[in-house]
Structure 1
Amino acid sequence: MRRLHVRRGLRRDRPLAEALPHRGRQDRLHGLHLLRSRLCVTYVILGCRALLLAVFLAALVGKTRSRAAFAEFRASIVALRLLSRRLSRAAAAAVVAVEAVTAVLLVVPAAAAAGLALAVALLLVFSAGIVMALRRGDGTATCRCFGASSAPLGRIHVVRNLALAAIGGAGLAAGVSASGWPPHAAGTAVALAVALVGALLVLRLDDLAFLFSDPKRDLS
């Protein structure tokens, strides 16, 4: 009778024993799924950092590649007539300095959050300045954000800056749930490639806007 009781006990406990390995597999699968999602977030942060870094580096190089380029950028700030001539010149130097600091912070992983926050703040300031200039109705102000372009300021530049600020905000938001695991080489390559394409579109925005503009409206 005792042996029979033991056998019945083993039969009762068998479903529980069979369920334990299955539950362990489920936990492992859930952990892998969570890790993959966090790695995706890591790639999002990396892409946001790379895109903004490319944009700010291009802007910095475009303004400081020569004395003439910086003088043109400084003149464009003065032409906005948002500040006095003296303060406008100081603001031009401050913009270049802040862009350089932002680029350095975006490169350093430990300071990436500060770099993204500074980029968002700077882009919002740029957007506010452009909006104020447009409200004054001065059509002579040009966009020297990247040094070379002489396109007049327009709403498209506000949209561009706000879109870049949104990208920086997305990077900051994603940083809350980022994984500490190092990203894979393939995922890193994809994130950097997407960031490069996005940066090229931003840098050539004036050319794209001219390409798709209405010729009749431009001639009128």
Structure 2
Amino acid sequence: MQYVDVASRLLLLTVFALALVSKVSSRRAWGEFAESLRAMAVVGDTKVPVAAAGAAAAEGGVIVLAAVPLRWAGSAAFILAAGLLGCLTVAVVMVVRRGNAVACRCFGASQTPLGLSHVVRNVVLVVIALLGLAGSLANGSFDPALSAIAGVFGAVLGLLITRWDDLASLLVSP
């Protein structure tokens, strides 16, 4: 189970790092992210800046906690990630049910509107966070070489998940 912990940490660290960088890389990126939250209409217009800052802070928290090689930090990272992803999933479901065409700004300047594939992606990430939490609570020894392999595996899967829209379009396109 320790390898699940390592792979899940690196996967979530990769996903949240790329998500955060895509939001804070420029004023324009931040503005587009905040505007997407406004268009989602899940919080009032006056609360959009607070929601945007809170989401960015939570993403940063996951990154920092996932990078700390202590059991409690990993557990905290998984709990924070699952909570944040759960909230984001509920918000996406609300947008999809209303039929709003809101661009997904999770990983940058995508024009892909939020849809069922984003719900699936977020649920997959919640499951990974919960599996990582279970792995972080398990005791036992582990091999550093296998841990490195698990970490690389997790990071590569994290990179693939950040390209979810592209992968989903490949599967759906005629």
TM bracket (short chain)? over 0.9
Structure with max Cα Rg: 1
1:98 Cα deviation from its structure 2 partner: 1.1
1:211 Cα deviation from its structure 2 partner: 2.0
2:171 to 203, 206, 212: 212
1:85, distance to aligned residue in structure 2 (A): 1.1
| 4+ residue runs over 4 A deviation | none
Distance 2:117 2:95 in 1: 14
Query: Structure 2 matches for 1:75-154, cutoff 5 A?
Result: 75-110=35-70, 111-139=73-101, 141-154=102-115
2:163 corresponds to 1:201: no
TM-score by length of 2: 0.94
**Cα distance between partner residues in 2 of 1:175 and 1:101:** 17
Matched, 1:42 2:2: yes
Matched, 1:64 2:34: no
Give the CA RMSD over aligned residues: 1.2
Q: Which runs of 5+ in 1 are unaligned?
A: 1-40, 216-220
Kindly indicate whether the alpha-carbon contact (under 8 Å) linking 1:102 and 1:115 is maintained by their aligned counterparts in 2: yes
Cα deviation code 1:167-203 (max 9, x no counterpart)? 1101111223232x3x433202210221122112101
Contact 1:50-1:195 within 8 A present in 2 as well = yes
In structure 2, distance between residues paired with 1:203 and 1:184 = 29
Provide the identity percentage.
42
Counterpart Cα distance in 2 of 1:59 and 1:86: 23
- The aligned length equals 172
Contact kept, 8 Å, 1:78 with 1:89, in 2: the verdict is: no
Residue of structure 2 in register with 1:162 after alignment: 123
User: How far off its partner does 1:127 sit?
Assistant: 0.3
CA shift, 1:153, in A, is 0.2
Structure 2 stretches lacking a partner, 5+ long: none
Which fold has the larger relative contact order, with Cα–Cα distance below 8 Å and residues 6 or more apart in sequence?
2
1:14 alignment counterpart = none
Query: Which residue matches 1:28?
Result: none
Q: Distance in 2 between matches of 1:55 and 1:175?
A: 19
Q: Does 1:55 align with 2:15?
A: yes
C-alpha distance in structure 2 between counterparts of 1:114 and 1:185, whole Å: 22
Q: Provide Cα deviations, 1:40-99, integer angstroms capped at 9, x if missing partner.
A: x11111101110000000000010011100000000000001121111222011110111
Task: Report the CA distance between 1:108 and its aligned residue.
Answer: 1.0
